[in-house]
Structure 1
Amino acid sequence: MMEQQLNSYLQSMTLEEKVDQLLQLVGAFFEDAGTEGQITGPMASLGITEETVHNVGSVLGLAGAKEVIRVQQAHLSKNRLGIPLLIMADIVHGFKTIFPIPLAIGCSWDMRLAEESATIAAREAAVSGIHVTFAPMVDLVRDPRWGRVMESTGEDPYLNSEFARAFVRGYQGKDLTNDTDRVAACVKHFAAYGAGEGGRDYNTVDLSAWQLREYYLPSYKAALDEGCEMVMTSFNTVEGVAATGNKRLMRDLLRDEWGFDGVLISDWAAIKELIPHGIAEDEREAAQKALLAGVDIEMMTSCYNGHLPELVRSGQLDEALVDEAVMRVLKLKQKLGLFDNPLRGADPEREREIVFCDAHRAVAKELAIKSCVLLKNDSVLPLKRSQHIALIGPFAQSGDILGSWSWSGSQDEAIRVIDGFQSKISSSLLTVATGCSIEDVTAEDMTAEQYAEALQAASQAEIIVLALGERSDMSGEAGSRSNIRLPQAQLELIKRLKTLNKPMVAVLFNGRPLDLHGVIEEADAVLEAWFPGGEGGAAIADLLYGDAEPTGRLTMSFPQSVGQVPVYYNHFNTGRPQLDPNTKERYVSQYLDVPNEPLFPFGYGLSYTEVAYDSIQLSSETLVPGQALTVKVRVTNAGARPVEETVQCYVRDISGDTVRPLKELKDFRKVLLPPGESREVEFALTKPQLRYHHADLSFSSDSGEFAVLTGPNSRDTTEGRFRLVKETGK
């Protein structure tokens, strides 16, 4: 369909029909789509008519091939111009086959598997009738109190950008029109949603324009450079203006500066929320400001529907603004091939074959293995199949391991921790007890009966494996917490079982970095499993028994205490840095009661073997523009087991126009090392990698001295020095 045909649609629409294309409703509005009547409750609450429902442009949260086909066919029979619906949904880390949460996927440092997880999610969603996923979420996050950290890939702009690209490639492929196994991606939340004050969801964000560009915007831009079709606004303010009505952010930066001409959609009710934000007096003003800002689709409020026609007819809004928004929606429908094939990939028979198939589940297991991070191991792991295990804790037999954005997944079909253990050892070597509740309340929530059961199970065993953590709804949207320790009942369980003086392994299920005090000192080994998805129990068992090697590395720092938050690796030095925490000097930037450094730093993770790093070697003491500086480090597997080591390369700009972080991740390599083998790992640094935003927001690099650091994490590095020199004659 050529653009003139889309223009023909546009010219044939009434103003009201145009505005209806900009409205998104939930699937409940279409429950009776095949009958004469529509349900009246939701329509009444939004103040819309049945005719509006017939003309609406998109629907949210509808899935299942048979149901989507029914709704689409009924809609086309009632829509005057036969314009198909866009079907959108939150496919965040899997459709029916649930992968680890995105924060866990980040800890894999594996772009291939991240892309494959999105490809599989798209395939299952598309065959079930979905056209658009509200993913990836690429918000940079430094505060683990924020519940939606589980949707992010962490605290580093470079790594987040790489994952953003990988997810977009996986969801969209190379040809959305003809590849009906793909869906359009929608990057979110634009912008800086992860920087809310106090880690509280929906809260105020107050960043300088410099910090916004230097740290928070790169991952959105990376997704768009990869071809992401849609952008979702964020709930927060940006520079004092709520994002959904922020013309400077959405139209001046996103559309004009970056050249984005795809669909911009509000988050749920975000246009109407301009009123409580205090930048719109009423729905009329909210509609006007959102459209002027460039928002094309309003999700689940009716400010556009109720007021755009009047604003246009009164001359307060140019109808051309409505037309350009409608045209962007029509172009996306065209790109998805919906005008030629309104049912697109929806296919009930193929849906039964593809969704949750063994091949997809195998990838979910592989990614779960790669995503778990071994935080501690005092020679307890891997377990032996001859050992008697006491599996104790509220997650021992729980299916609540999928995470909070797994709406099509089934906890009943998840591979639980107990299932994984039962696949490794006989029932005579396994005793199981719940131990306590998951509730975030008091120690008294471990009943006497639960403790007696746990004590009996532990007394029979050689090793205690504790399956602990947060319920999935303790993180995710609206899942902010000020106390990020394990629930008190679980800490009490650890304390009591420690008195038995038996080796203890803690396996943690959570959607955020935790304050691990009460766990890390007591357990002999700690495996951070996050919410590992539907194959989690099998993946964990493989790791604990050494049938797989732990390779995950943190992409978000774990704090010593919530009082440190935000704590992140790429921080500034300050004018009075703490150079040596052992000197007890007072007048430096420090806490008096806890270290400055996190409990576990960005990039950290253990393996079942030791890897030695030699000194760093540079090809030159200078880096000349147009050339590359080669950075080499030899790594050696000094143990008896194979290892996949993630070798990390950081840079520090010693002096800049603005202050520069102590370290910035610039590259990494994943290296397979058999026992006893060495390998030289090489990085190539170029001038563009040294660019940053200056005080005037220009983006360039400066000549001068730099440090380059390599190591297994952001803390344990070896350093070399070089100078970036100006080009000859300049």
Structure 2
Amino acid sequence: MKRILQFLLIPVSLTLLLAWNWNPSKGNMTLDQLYTYKADSIIALMTLDEKIGQLNLPASGDFTTGLASSSNIAEKIKAGSVGGLFNIKTAEKIRVVQKIAMEESRLKIPMIFGMDVIHGYETLFPIPIGISSIWDMELVEKSARIAAIEASADGINWTFSPMTDISRDPRWGRVSEGSGEDPYLGAQIAKAMVKGYQGDDLSLNNTIMACVKHFALYGAPEGGRDYNTVDMSRIRMYNEYFLPYQAAVDAGVGSVMTSFNEVEGIPASANRWLMTDVLRNQWGFDGFVVTDYTAINEMIDHGIGDLQKVSELSLKAGVDMDMVGEGFLITLKKSLEEGKITEKQIDDACRRILIAKYKLGLFDDPYRYADPERAKKEVFTAQNRKVAREIAAQSFVLLKNNNILPIQKKGTIALIGPLADNKENMAGTWSVAGRFEEAISLTEGLKKAVGGKANIIYAKGANVVADSLLESRVSIFGKPTYRDNRPAEVLIQEALDAAKDADVIVAALGESAEMTGEASSMSNIELPENQRDLLKALLKTGKPVVMVLFTGRPLALTWEEENVPTILNVWFAGSEAGDAIADVLFGDVNPSGKLSATFPQNVGQVPIYYNHKNTGRPLPEGQWFQKFRSNYLDVSNDPLYPFGFGLSYTNFKYGELKLSGNSLKGNQTLKASITLTNSGKYDGKEVVQLYIRDLVGSVTRPVKELKGFRKVLLKAGETKTISFDITPEDLKFYNSDLDFVWEPGEFEIMIGGNSRDVKVSKVDWKE
């Protein structure tokens, strides 16, 4: 208090200089304690309005993701009513805005600048569900590292990524923005992404603060409809959904974003159990919490109060920053006057935001991230694009191959389909900073790859969808679909003419970029009917057909699996999509991607996921149907493509699973080993996957759970032994008391190339 009183006796500018840079002699004070001390020194100088202003995060106006907008931002910055801005792009613009805060506001507190850097900045990598199909954490981290370097060079110091929402429902559009259905895989990716963005030192000007989202359970809405109600037990939350969020917190993520949905009847942004009890008290999160876009205001429609009430509830729950809605800015002062909140609650939120700015080094140099010269050298570079091409090729999943791929660079190749010559859609959803016009289309990629050795003939063949109104709804954010209004029969005949003399047909089909993403839920997840009509016509030619599938979600491809000889799923691969796809089609890269989400036979099976539980009447293994068992009358329980599935141009043979012992006790380590042989003629990478089943528990347990994986490169004919060390930590789960425990008993250990095709052995593990 004495130190604060001393500050108040000298001019504000000098006081701030001391508060920002003064290092108190407090013994062995940690850096976090030092930042807290400095933040409190500034808070002591702030008016109530200025404190509340730090909690306000308006959109810049350059990009918006919702219906609300904020006006007069410059005047609010001068008044100290803005803590940061998001989705403003370029170092030059950010310097101008930061200058207003540093030269025209009373306290000259720097602003934080965020952006949706989801799967790359200007150099775009595959969409997140594609990144998750790589199963290589070094490459996942590398993609985030490059994104951070580019974004930070252009003024951005905060990203709203990674999205760690587990989803088992491909109808939900934002499944494209996550890492699939499995909590273990999702946790590994969350850790890698946070490390890639934040590095080891957030104060370095080539790192940015990550924001894990959406806390919590956003990926489990009823009916797969975005923003919809989520309802589940706490034991399911802890065992099946929370792990990736917690992994990001354990990795040191700097911020957390609330979700739009309700949890246990309370919207997440007002849910104190989530934001304080779980996030801060149980997991030890010490960063700041920001809402999603207008999430506080939207709680009015949820039905829990007017703007003042929902803003009060949000602050008391533990939310620190209000994105766009300005409920905090408008109502908190009145709520304080009425005794509904305390000034300490405002101070706590303000402190956490100021500490984040200290960690980012903004008090040392407010312009450290906005260097136009650095941006010219480090953004969208040839080297970054080269890495993006390599990573994209690793994300593709070969779903089927009747010895057509790889194709040769000779003869005539017919390239047919609405996504064959559309560079803008290669970016996929959530690519707000990307250079769509400079992406590589599949047509361009194939032509460059053959270098004149083969003849490439292109025809569109079909629109993305037959319904022009539907197509208009999925042609936004600068990614046109170039609709052709000629009759469908004319487009198909044009495609058949192009394919007449072809040696092979490459059919580029699937979804457009914005058919997945936010507010892009679909009730029908099959290939659009008009595209299937085109595909049927191409198959009738009798020529070999390769279906190159563009998608942001698992699709129901039963007809295609039964009728199309070869299917390569390429997701949306980013800036270098066309070149990367060509690399795989021609065999310069052997595909090694594995699915991170189950593909259903039809939408009626949804939700479908590998780590389900048994019922009391499970269908016997290998059977299609049995009366009075848990099954359907019209379709088997099996997925079309299981979690972890993906083929290669070579063949991998798994030997017998060997355990270091069949009976263990206490904290002993079990070694599970298997030999893997590349029995084909191509060098290739295989993802060896470890699953465990707890056969008897105090609560019911899944039929299997992923507990480890290795991505292994084997040369043709090579054999390697792959081993996993298993300890009781790998056996733990949350019981009915929500204690994280392991229980002695019998366990199945499984190793294989996907969740379905595994070798199995048992171990009895005693206390």
Q: Is the 8 A contact 1:416 1:536 kept in 2?
A: yes
Following TM superposition, by how much is the alpha carbon of 1:444 offset from its aligned partner in structure 2, in angstroms? Answer: 10
Selected match of 1:271 from 296, 301, 304: 296
Check if 1:518 corresponds to 2:559: yes
How many residues align? The count is 714
Q: Is the 8 A contact 1:22 1:298 kept in 2?
A: yes
Of stretches 91-100 and 440-449 in structure 1, the one that deviates more from structure 2 is 440-449
Q: Structure 2 unaligned runs (5+)?
A: 1-20, 22-33, 469-483
Selected match of 2:309 from 281, 285, 292: 285
Following TM superposition, by how much is the alpha carbon of 1:635 offset from its aligned partner in structure 2, in angstroms? Answer: 1.1
Which residue number corresponds to residue 279 of structure 2? 254
What is the CA–CA distance in structure 1 between the aligned matches of 2:711 and 2:49, rounded to whole Å? Answer: 55
What is the CA–CA distance in structure 1 between the aligned matches of 2:724 and 2:41, rounded to whole Å? Answer: 54
Which residue number corresponds to residue 708 of structure 1? 749
Selected match of 1:210 from 232, 235, 245: 235
What is the CA–CA distance in structure 2 between the aligned matches of 1:580 and 1:334, rounded to whole Å? Answer: 58
Q: Is the 8 A contact 2:81 2:329 kept in 1?
A: no
What is the CA–CA distance in structure 2 between the aligned matches of 1:687 and 1:268, rounded to whole Å? Answer: 41
Which residue number corresponds to residue 119 of structure 1? 145
Q: How does 1:476-491 map to 2 (within 5 A)?
A: 476-491=517-532
- C-alpha distance after superposition, 1:456-494 (max 9, x if no partner): 111110111100111111100001000011111101100
**Residue identity matched to 1:145:** R
What is the CA–CA distance in structure 1 between the aligned matches of 2:134 and 2:713, rounded to whole Å? Answer: 14
What is the CA–CA distance in structure 1 between the aligned matches of 2:365 and 2:308, rounded to whole Å? Answer: 36
Q: How does 1:460-499 map to 2 (within 5 A)?
A: 460-499=501-540
Q: Residue 148 of structure 2 aligns to a residue in which SS? A: helix
Which residue number corresponds to residue 8 of structure 1? 41
Q: Residue 320 of structure 2 aligns to a residue in which SS? A: coil
Q: How does 1:595-674 map to 2 (within 5 A)?
A: 595-674=636-715
Q: How does 1:301-700 map to 2 (within 5 A)?
A: 301-399=325-423, 400-425=425-450, 426=452, 429-439=455-465, 441=467, 447-580=488-621, 582=623, 584-700=625-741
Runs of 4+ in structure 1 over 6 Å off = 442-445
What is the CA–CA distance in structure 1 between the aligned matches of 2:694 and 2:69, rounded to whole Å? Answer: 60
What is the CA–CA distance in structure 2 between the aligned matches of 1:363 and 1:493, rounded to whole Å? Answer: 35
What is the CA–CA distance in structure 2 between the aligned matches of 1:95 and 1:53, rounded to whole Å? Answer: 31
Check if 1:19 corresponds to 2:52: yes
Q: How does 1:149-168 map to 2 (within 5 A)?
A: 149-168=175-194
Q: How does 1:118-267 map to 2 (within 5 A)?
A: 118-177=144-203, 179-267=204-292
Q: Residue 370 of structure 1 aligns to a residue in which SS? A: helix
Q: Residue 297 of structure 2 aligns to a residue in which SS? A: coil
Q: Is the 8 A contact 1:467 1:508 kept in 2?
A: yes
* TM-score relative to the length of structure 1: 0.95
What is the CA–CA distance in structure 1 between the aligned matches of 2:538 and 2:286, rounded to whole Å? Answer: 59
Which residue number corresponds to residue 75 of structure 1? 101
Q: Is the 8 A contact 1:553 1:605 kept in 2?
A: yes
Of stretches 4-13 and 343-352 in structure 1, the one that deviates more from structure 2 is 4-13
Selected match of 2:760 from 705, 719, 723: 719
Following TM superposition, by how much is the alpha carbon of 1:711 offset from its aligned partner in structure 2, in angstroms? Answer: 0.7
What is the CA–CA distance in structure 2 between the aligned matches of 1:364 and 1:201, rounded to whole Å? Answer: 30
- C-alpha distance after superposition, 1:491-528 (max 9, x if no partner): 11001111111110000111101011332222211000
Q: Is the 8 A contact 1:29 1:43 kept in 2?
A: no
* TM-score relative to the length of structure 2: 0.91
What is the CA–CA distance in structure 2 between the aligned matches of 1:199 and 1:300, rounded to whole Å? Answer: 26
Which residue number corresponds to residue 28 of structure 1? 61
Following TM superposition, by how much is the alpha carbon of 1:314 offset from its aligned partner in structure 2, in angstroms? Answer: 2.2
Following TM superposition, by how much is the alpha carbon of 1:387 offset from its aligned partner in structure 2, in angstroms? Answer: 3.4
Q: Is the 8 A contact 1:625 1:686 kept in 2?
A: no
What is the CA–CA distance in structure 2 between the aligned matches of 1:701 and 1:55, rounded to whole Å? Answer: 50
Q: Is the 8 A contact 1:374 1:528 kept in 2?
A: yes
Following TM superposition, by how much is the alpha carbon of 1:363 offset from its aligned partner in structure 2, in angstroms? Answer: 1.1
What is the CA–CA distance in structure 2 between the aligned matches of 1:29 and 1:292, rounded to whole Å? Answer: 32
What is the CA–CA distance in structure 1 between the aligned matches of 2:355 and 2:624, rounded to whole Å? Answer: 64
- C-alpha distance after superposition, 1:146-183 (max 9, x if no partner): 00001111111000000000000000000111x11000
Q: Is the 8 A contact 1:43 1:49 kept in 2?
A: no
Selected match of 1:43 from 71, 95, 106: 71
Please report the RMSD computed on the Cα atoms of aligned residues, expressed in angstroms: 1.9
Q: Is the 8 A contact 1:436 1:445 kept in 2?
A: no
Following TM superposition, by how much is the alpha carbon of 1:452 offset from its aligned partner in structure 2, in angstroms? Answer: 2.1
What is the CA–CA distance in structure 2 between the aligned matches of 1:440 and 1:30, rounded to whole Å? Answer: 30
Q: Structure 1 unaligned runs (5+)?
A: 32-39
What is the CA–CA distance in structure 1 between the aligned matches of 2:107 and 2:258, rounded to whole Å? Answer: 29
Which residue number corresponds to residue 36 of structure 1? none
Q: Residue 92 of structure 1 aligns to a residue in which SS? A: coil
